[in-house]
Chains A and B, each alone.
Chain A
Amino acid sequence: MKQVTLTINGKSVKTSPRSTILIAARSAGFRIPTLCYHPRLASVGSCRVCVVEIQGRGNLAASCVTPVADGMVVRTDSERVVAARRLVVELLLAGGEHNCSLCAASGDCELQNLAYELGIEKLDFPVEAPGYPRDTSNAMIERDLNKCVLCGRCVRACNEVQVNEVIDIGYRGARAKIVTAFDRNYGDSDCVFCGECVSVCPTGALREKAARFKGRPWEFQKTRTTCVYCGTGCQLDVNVRDGRVVKVTSDFRHGPPNYGSLCAKGRFAYDFIHHPDRLTTPLIKEDDEFREATWDEAMDLVVLGLSAIRNQEGPDAIGVLASARCTNEENYLLQKFTRACLGTNNIDHCARL
């Protein structure tokens, strides 16, 4: 497709005609702050943080939704633009409960970053938080609409990405808020706890409940891996601090198969990892009771038991059950072990269940 040329802050920029001003400007190295924009979601241009000035156009344009045009002349940093951005961010800060030192999202908050970037130290308006009760209705998602900036990312995530169609914007004017059907809390709603909304929330309004105050983004060691539940094979990031898994996230940039989406199990059912019920030592049954044992003890017993039966009854008297939960390497090794070491083909797994 033919490229178009536009001028951004005096610099000539060539880009695809399908591009938006935001994409074109960013790829040309100009910084445009955003809030309601999220690369995984359709852009709606609602927060107005990313506004820019386009020559010949009466009002400012949201760069995230405005397509480029040949010959367009854009300014991303004019006084008008900065005034608008500042007003928007000040209005947001004054319209909610944005007390960073009392917020689990501190350090992980796009609103906080915007205030910093725009150098806002003082508000021209009195703070008027709406005073909504906090939604503590469930163990997975903590929802505090006093910290909501109504960017609508959660709504788009729920309706466009997961298509669960659980939330939307309700009410009007300054009382507009994110609602479930009949404005119930999450726990009593149709929500299926996929957590997609949490994953796109720019502030502390939606948080993984169990992970609150368990670490800031820079304290986490993130390890990308594959989900252990169903056969979809979702790519996820295990977030670890001090040797403990404290939350599971994902990232649309991981690509297929899930493009950053997860389900309730993948995102929230990781707590089995550190569950006190975990087996932590080998166990040997004596008189119908298990006792703890060392690896050597246990392995010796296994070797003894298996070789005795193999020697007395032949290898086909042993059956091995592999696992659809284990890795390819482990299953490969187990069938190799069964066939090459034990000498039987009696290996199967619960593929049919």
Chain B
Amino acid sequence: MVNSRMSKEIVINVCMGTGGIAAGGRDVMDAFIEAFRERGVDGRVEKHCAVHQVGCRGFCARDVLVDVSLDGERTTYQYIQAAMVPRLVEEHVLGGQPVTEWTVGPEYHAFHDRQVKVVLADCGNIDPDRIEEYEGVGGYTALRRILSEMSPGEVIDVVRESGLRGRGGAGFPTGIKWKICADNESEVKYIICNADEGDPGAFMDRSVIEGNPHAVIEGLIIGAYAIGSAHGYVYIRAEYPLAVERLRRALDQARAKGYLGKGIHGSRFDFDIKVKLGAGAFVCGEETALIASIEGERGMPRSKPPFPVFKGLWGKPTVINNVETLANLPVIFRRGAAWYASVGSEKSKGTKVFALTGKIKNTGLIEVPMGISLKEIIYDIGGGIEKDRAFKAVQTGGPSGGCIPSQHIDLSVDYENLIRMGSMMGSGGMVVLDETDCMVNIAKFFLEFTQSESCGKCTPCRFGTRRLLEILTRITRGQGRPDDIERLERMARTIKDSSLCGLGMSAPNPVLSTIRYFRHEYEAHIHEHRCPAGVCRELITYTIDPERCKGCGKCRRHCPVEAIEGQPKAVHVIQQEKCIKCGSCFEVCPEKFSAVLRA
């Protein structure tokens, strides 16, 4: 069968992360399979054609992304839909000629060139549902070596040398956390993977689990071995059905291959992992709330100390590591602590995955070395600001992070620098803002989220965040009081100072950091009743310039509340008392007239 016209090794990879599937990935995959069945029948394809699903490769904006590899020579296509598949098969797979008009362009390469992929290295390359593929790229070799050659203490030493810090937000050194727990005398200990990714717009953890679940499992087993735990949990949001499904399948496979269970790979080490589904409360990402939730209680944080490493799940010493942290571990053991420590900045080692969103050209999931500058992320990887507008700020750290203004665009991104700027690493959200974003409104947006996600347990968070939101709301409505900025600052500081858990302690950050860098915007709202970015509806007035209006009627037809009057070919007028400031007229007024004015 080998002597055929077409005898190349054919591999098709289809992005089947949640983003890929949403963009039609499953149909694309089916179309390839169908196509090969047809072409195979007429004998034109002799060699094995592998159509693989792979996890997210980051550039979700261009989904469905498809790799066509012929004898290892890979071509990547973007925006692929099922209907396009026959042509790809015909021209590229069979004809050997890539369909150049569909291949990814320079942005795709720019997007990836500056990235350093450690955690995401195999996401998008291997089929997450097949343990053999993970093993094929070196997966579980680290675990096997550890179990046969290393003591738990040595494992901890390696992690400490690597400089790995928790990727869930606080950046606590992982090796030290393990050491404290390992030193704690207790027959029963637990290790928990925190996969309760709750920041809006964040999908780092989901992508890792969907794309390479075994890396997380291997990391968790290594951690369990290091601290002496026989019971592990993955606490994952029920809203991540695909990740849950792949994780469960991966656990079954790992069990079948003897990576989990009694006497793992001939050692005397027993360990197994349970999957616990979270019900979507943001606060359950907080480790003590997560523990309460696993215990069957309402997911509410508990006071620390005692810290979970001393008294965690069911009162036993417990290590909680984030998904990304755990996924780093197999690589650290494969490539060595020294190599890992060579990546990154002085105090922040390795890479960090970010969900890059907002007013940026290339949105998606990126992994960059610690210490990279904001500018490189925004302009080199992100391709710059949408519509080439002016960059204003970047918001990091999720809903309780802060904003870093344009003057600090050269800031090198690591734990300490972000905190110094009044923001934080968080789990890796990065929202790029431009000149059309109102910073008061941005603060209000994040406060809306945190105040409604507050568990309600402690007073400052439960009521304090709502009061902050109330004040922000009145400012955006032009009803701000002269002393509101001071009031906000005072309350925000006290809320940070007195809240029970990380949620309350960080919830005021968006307020404080926007006041810190954009005080003038607050002042404009309060004193001049003006929204400089033109976002806050109550502060905007739309008018029609009679000099420029040609009476085309487009604005009148689009106005949802019939607030615009005017006869054809005659000047139109907006009735202010009816106007709801939706901005439709402004949007639809033909550019050649530009008769609708916003002020």
Touch test A–B (CB under 8 Å):
yes
* Of B454, B457, B466, B505, most A-chain CB atoms within 10 Å: B457
> Do residues B463 and A91 form an inter-chain contact, with CB atoms below 8 A?
yes
Instruction: Assign chain B's interface to a size class.
Output: 35 or more
Task: Please tell me if B303 contacts chain A, counting CB pairs below 8 Å.
Answer: yes
Which of A51, A80, A124, A172 contacts B454 (CB under 8 A)? A172
Partner of A91, one of B467, B490, B500: B467
Interface residues of A in 153-169 (CB under 8 A from B): 168-169
Q: How large is the interface on A (under 10, 10 to 19, 20 to 34, 35 or more residues)?
A: 35 or more
Chain B residues within 8 Å of A88, by CB? 459-460, 498
Contact of B452 among A44, A152, A172, A177 (CB under 8 A): A172
CB interface residues, A 93-126, toward B, < 8 Å: 94-95, 124-125
Q: Convert B478-501 into 0s and 1s, putting 1 for each residue whose CB lies closer than 8 angstroms to a CB of A.
A: 000000000100110011111110
Whether the pair A60, B466 counts as a contact (CB closer than 8 A) is no
Does residue B300 face the partner (Cβ distance < 8 Å to A)? yes
Decide yes or no whether B464 CB sits under 8 A from chain A. Answer: yes
The answer to whether A173 touches B452, judged by C-beta atoms less than 8 angstroms apart, is: yes
Inter-chain contact A168/B298, CB cutoff 8 Å:
yes
Cβ–Cβ < 8 Å partners of B460 in chain A? 48, 84, 87-88, 91
- Flag if A174 contacts B463 (CB, 8 Å): yes
User: Bound complex: CA of A210 vs CA of B273, how far in Å?
Assistant: 54
Q: A59-B505, A88-B460 are in contact. Are A46 and B500 (CB under 8 A)?
A: yes
B interface footprint on A13-46 (CB within 8 Å = 1, 0 otherwise): 0000000000000000000000000000001111
Tell me if A47 is interfacial: C-beta within 8 Å of chain B. yes
Interface readout for B285-313 with A: 1 if CB under 8 Å, 0 if not?
A: 00000000000001010110110000000
- Of the listed residues A83, A84, A152, A174, the one surrounded by the most CB atoms of chain B closer than 10 A to its CB is A174
Asked, given contacts A91-B459, A173-B451, whether A60 binds B303 with beta carbons under 8 Å apart, the answer is no
Q: Is B465 an interface residue (CB 8 A)?
A: yes
B462 at the binding interface (Cβ < 8 Å): yes
* Min distance, Cβ B572 to any Cβ of chain A, angstroms: 41
Closest Cβ neighbor of A175 among chain B residues: B456
The answer to whether A176 and B491 touch across the interface, beta carbons within 8 angstroms, is no
Contact code string B319-363 (vs A, CB < 8 Å = 1, else 0): 000000000000000000000000000000000000000000000
Give chain B's interface secondary structure class: helix
Contact B462 A150, beta carbon cutoff 8 Å = yes
Assess the A59–B497 pair: CB atoms within 8 A.
Answer: yes
Q: Are B453 and A172 in contact (CB under 8 A)?
A: yes
Also in contact, A48 and B458, with CB within 8 A (given A80-B497, A92-B463): yes
Shortest CB distance A205–B (Å): 15
Query: Which of chain A's residues has its CB closest to B495's CB?
Result: A87
CB-nearest residue of chain A to B456: A176
Given A45-B303, A59-B496, A172-B455; A124-B466 close (CB under 8 Å): no
Q: CB-defined interface of B202-230 with A at 8 Å, one 1/0 digit per residue?
A: 00000000000000000000000000000
Q: A47 near B305 (CB under 8 angstroms)? A: no
- Tell me if A290 counts as interface (CB < 8 A to partner B): no
> Does B66 reach chain A (CB closer than 8 Å)?
no
Least distance between A132 CB and chain B CB atoms (Å)? 14
- The answer to whether A62 has its CB under 8 Å from any CB of chain B is yes
Q: Return A75 CB to nearest CB of chain B, in Å.
A: 13
Give the one of B306, B455, B487 with max A CB within 10 A. B455
Q: Which of B302, B456, B465 has the most CB of A within 10 A?
A: B456
A48 touches B462 (CB 8 A): no
Contact B463 A48 (CB under 8 A): no
30 A-B contacts, Cβ less than 8 Å apart? A46-B458, A48-B458, A48-B499, A48-B500, A51-B497, A59-B499, A60-B497, A62-B500, A65-B303, A66-B305, A80-B497, A83-B490, A84-B494, A91-B459, A91-B460, A91-B463, A91-B464, A92-B463, A94-B463, A149-B459, A150-B456, A172-B454, A172-B455, A172-B456, A173-B452, A174-B456, A174-B462, A174-B466, A176-B457, A176-B462
| Complex A-B, nearest 9 residue pairs according to Cβ-Cβ distance, in ascending order | A176-B456, A91-B463, A84-B498, A45-B303, A65-B303, A174-B466, A173-B454, A88-B459, A46-B457
Extra contacts, 15 of them, besides A51-B497, A92-B463 (Cβ < 8 A), are A44-B303, A45-B303, A45-B500, A46-B457, A47-B458, A60-B497, A60-B498, A67-B305, A80-B497, A171-B456, A173-B452, A173-B462, A174-B451, A176-B456, A176-B462
Q: Which residues of A contact B (CB under 8 A)?
A: 43-49, 51, 59-60, 62, 65-67, 80, 83-84, 87-88, 91-92, 94-95, 124-125, 149-150, 152, 168-177
